């Protein structure tokens, strides 16, 4: 820390992204990326767009907003595209919780407390139940802005739309941010509820189900007023927040429904295979509707299993949050990658005996 660093930020604990090691080639199952390449239609526009990089990107992101709006049956003024959904979350935290307070689950996406601290927003955490599921009733008397991930980060647990509506309807004077980073792997989006609830903001990403993590594209959908508020923050921070190449690729990825359906179907099928294979090896896990599984076994500690898998060339995520430190979080890769993972786990367990 330099002597110039703002005192206000001394205690900031930054977010720790999943490791991206370069020492060898790993089967990478640690950051919930898609194992499949971007849509060929997205790839096809990249070169043409690159030749225009001397020009700024469209600050109104018109074509991307229209593509997202068309897909979800809303008007384009109810959409804002961002530089990854992390940026949508940052804008939303700043717009709807700065000077107020936040509430979110005790086990969830690790960036929520980081953004809260960055913006000086006090927060409370609400424990998940014993099955690692969000109990909507626990939020009934909370006046703070609420943020939840559905499916939940780290656990993969999912709330049906009726529960999301209950959460949003509990208190119409508080904004509820629903982070749907993992919604496309079997869940039902809450975007249609934004037609009726002016206190609901839904955040999504192109990083998982649309195979564009490296392009950094996210978006939020809400009523036009909520989106206008987010635009006020965006135009006070970085008007050209989405770069030209990523924007063009994202438009094509959103329109390529067939490729999206094919990739997400494969992930869901492979999740089923992986869950069954892990159960056979004695693992337990919360039922996941995401592209990862949080798996636990009494036979070996989560951190040790993570380390042993890494030494065998398979990278999974070990998270140190107390309630899940005994587990590993495994991203769903290709069927072949998951077969290798299962084989390596089997070897590790056999070596223990
Ligand atoms: N929300 C959740 C729940 C996530 O797990 C992630 C990815 N780690 C994000 C948001 C951010 O994704 P991105 O910025 O790549 O859109």
Instruction: Give per-residue pLDDT as tens, 201-230.
Output: 999 999 999 999 999 999 999 999 999 999
Contact of 128 with 152, CB cutoff 8 Å: yes
**Partners of 285 in the β-ladder:** none
Q: What is the pTM of this model?
A: 0.97
What is the spatial distance between Cα 311 and Cα 223, in angstroms, rounded to a whole number? Answer: 49
**Ligand 1 atom nearest 205 alpha carbon:** 16
**Partners of 315 in the β-ladder:** 28
Q: How many domains does the chain have?
A: 2
Angle at which helices 62-72 and 244-255 pack, to 10 degrees?
20
**Ligand 1 atom nearest 153 alpha carbon:** 3
Ligand 1: which of 18, 68, 85 to mutate, judged by most atoms within 8 Å of the beta carbon? 85
Ligand 1 midpoint to CA 18 (Å): 12
Nearest to 214 by CA among 344, 52, 20, 62: 20
Question: Residue 139: CB partners within 8 Å, gap ≥ 6?
Answer: 103, 126, 146, 167, 170
Q: Are residues 235 and 271 in the same domain?
A: no
Q: Are residues 129 and 111 in the same domain?
A: yes
Q: Are residues 158 and 83 in the same domain?
A: yes
Q: Are residues 166 and 299 in the same domain?
A: no
- List ligand 1's pocket residues with C-beta within 6 A: 84-86, 109, 149, 153, 179, 181, 205, 207, 213, 218
Q: What is the mean pLDDT of the chain?
A: 97
Burial class (CB in 10 A: 0-12, 13-18, 19+), 63: middle
Give the pLDDT band of residue 17 (cuts 50, 70, 90).
confident
Q: Are residues 76 and 170 in the same domain?
A: yes
Interval 162-179: pLDDT, tens = 999 999 999 999 999 999
CATH number of the CATH domain containing 15: 3.90.1150.10
What is the spatial distance between Cα 158 and Cα 188, in angstroms, rounded to a whole number? Answer: 10
Domain that holds residue 321: 7-37+258-352
Give the pLDDT band of residue 151 (cuts 50, 70, 90).
very high
Ligand 1 midpoint to CA 40 (Å): 23
């Amino acid at each position: 820390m330099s002597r110039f660093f703002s005192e206000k930020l001394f205690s900031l604990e930054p977010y720790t992204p999943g490791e991206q090691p370069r020492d060898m080639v790993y089967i990478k199952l640690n950051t919930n990326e898609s194992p499949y390449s971007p849509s060929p239609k997205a790839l096809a526009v990249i070169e043409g767009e690159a030749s225009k990089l001397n020009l700024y990107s469209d600050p109104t992101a018109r074509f991307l907003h229209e593509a997202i709006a068309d897909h979800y049956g809303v008007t384009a003024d109810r959409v804002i595209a961002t530089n990854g959904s992390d940026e949508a979350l940052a804008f939303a935290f700043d717009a709807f919780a700065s000077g107020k307070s936040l509430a979110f689950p005790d086990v969830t996406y690790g960036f929520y407390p980081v953004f809260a601290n960055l913006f000086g927003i006090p927060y409370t955490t609400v424990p998940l139940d014993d099955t690692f599921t969000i109990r909507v009733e626990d939020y009934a008397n909370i006046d703070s802005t609420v943020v939840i991930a559905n499916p939940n980060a780290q656990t993969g647990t999912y709330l049906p739309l009726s529960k999301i509506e209950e959460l949003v309807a509990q208190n119409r004077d508080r904004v509820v941010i629903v982070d749907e980073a993992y919604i496309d792997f079997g869940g039902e989006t809450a975007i249609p509820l934004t037609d009726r609830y002016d206190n609901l903001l839904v955040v999504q990403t192109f990083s998982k189900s649309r195979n564009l993590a490296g392009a950094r594209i996210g978006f939020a959908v809400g009523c036009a007023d909520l989106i206008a508020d987010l635009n006020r923050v965006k135009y006070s921070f970085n008007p050209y927040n989405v770069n030209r190449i990523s924007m063009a690729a994202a438009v094509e990825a959103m329109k390529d429904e067939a490729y999206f359906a094919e990739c997400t179907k494969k992930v869901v099928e492979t999740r089923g295979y992986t869950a069954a294979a892990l159960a056979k090896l004695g693992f337990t896990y919360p039922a996941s509707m995401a592209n990862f599984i949080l798996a636990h076994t009494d036979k070996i500690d989560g951190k040790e299993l993570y380390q042993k898998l890494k030494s065998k060339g398979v990278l999974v995520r070990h998270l140190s949050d107390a309630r899940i430190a005994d587990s590993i979080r495994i991203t769903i890769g290709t069927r072949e990658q998951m077969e290798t993972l299962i084989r390596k786990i089997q070897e590790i367990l056999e070596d223990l005996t």
